[in-house]
Amino acid sequence: MPPGSAQRRSAALDKVKKKALPTRAPKPRPAPKETPDSSSPIPQELHQLLLNIFKNSFTERLESDINPLLQEVKGHLYNRDFLTAFGRNDYLEAYAARWSPSRALGYLQVFSDLSEHIWTNSEVLPEEESSPHKIVCLGGGAGAEVVALGGYSNLLKRADKTPCKRKLDVVAVDIADWSSIVQRLHEGAVTEPPISKYATAAAKAANASLTDPESFTVSFNQSDVLNVPFPELAPVMEDASLITLLFTLNELYSSSISLTQKFLLNLTAFVKKGTLLLVVDSPGSYSSVSLNGTEKKYPMQWLLDHTLLRVGDKGEDPVWTKVLDCESKWFRLPPNLQYPIDLEHMRYQLHLYRKED
């Protein structure tokens, strides 16, 4: 932890002192309001490049009968037995090959839509223009965020059109050991894809990696964010300009609302001013909590705002500002994409926060 961070953390914790949840659950919310689809679609050929990374990374798994493995993984997930579901390498491969590709395409659209917020956030941008922009992906072990950010790096390269490239340094954090999956997908993003020896000279000349290793670095950190002492996790978060919780926060709340609140408060106390926190999850997600022997359900969005946007005990402004709020939005796959397994559209809610103090 950097010098002075302990004092900052203590002061910030005082400012966002945890209070008990109210004994009365919030009134039922109306159906989530739909937000129109993005007006800046990603080129279809870039979508296909991302899918090819998954296809080339898991060729043997996709060419075998993957369905029995998928059924086993789904059974463990249904029983919330995550240690078993993500405890075998063949399970990890099957999961990443099946569910991460669709998410990666959806996440790429999300990052593209948020570019103006990410790259105009001067308080946390690297001082040197050539330094990398650090992004920490909590729950990002299955590779969807990694491949999506590789695609985002590709978009940045297209937009820059100058020798000075914008660089991304991505840290994927997860409770299971996804290190081999993350490494394989990162290698797929920064190396030229395989090409037939019978390909034309023009095709061989045009064959290029999604992005390059100088512009896109990736590492993996295995941590249980709800139970590891936060000082051990703090170095991972240090200097992050963007922290993501993509289809992860509701799972954390389902595991323990109190531990998730504690983690968010510790995160609030540690990260520097200007840090962005991006939360994407299923619309209408609820989590249950028992109060005085009675179980009550709280919307995920309400729990999150309750923790991050609380006014201080002495009337101080909230430590976070909500920059964007979207209750329900669709990412729809373009037609004619090629992948061995059926892909799905992605419906999601999105919340973007900025640390103010």
pLDDT at 34: 62
Q: The CATH number of the domain where 225 resides is what?
A: 3.40.50.150
pLDDT at residue 162 above 80?
no
**216: closest CA among 139, 145, 117?**
145
Report the residue count for the chain. 357
pLDDT tens for residues 92-143? 999 999 999 999 999 999 999 999 998 876 555 555 666 789 999 999 999 9
SS3 content of the chain, % helix, strand, coil (to 5): 40, 20, 40
Element holding 193 (H helix, E strand): none
Residue 247 Ramachandran class (φ > 0 left, ψ -120 to 50 alpha, else beta)? left
Dist. CA 161–CA 156, nearest whole Å: 9
Confidence of residue 354 (pLDDT cuts 50, 70, 90): very high
Over residues 148-153, the mean pLDDT reads: 97
How many structural domains comprise the chain? 1
Whole-model pTM? 0.86
Which one of 55-59, 157-161, 236-240 scores highest in mean pLDDT?
Answer: 55-59
In a domain, 308, yes or no: yes
pLDDT at residue 9 above 70?
no
CB 270 within 8 A of CB 234: yes
In a domain, 50, yes or no: yes
Q: Which residues pair with 219 in a beta bridge?
A: 171
**90: closest CA among 114, 109, 66?**
66
In a domain, 31, yes or no: no
In a domain, 118, yes or no: yes
In a domain, 19, yes or no: no
**154: closest CA among 202, 103, 125, 115?**
115
In a domain, 33, yes or no: no
Of residues 194 and 90, more confidently modeled: 90
In a domain, 140, yes or no: yes
Lowest mean pLDDT among 122-136, 142-156, 179-193, 250-264: 122-136
In a domain, 29, yes or no: no
Tell me the residue range of the domain where 333 lies: 5-14+41-355
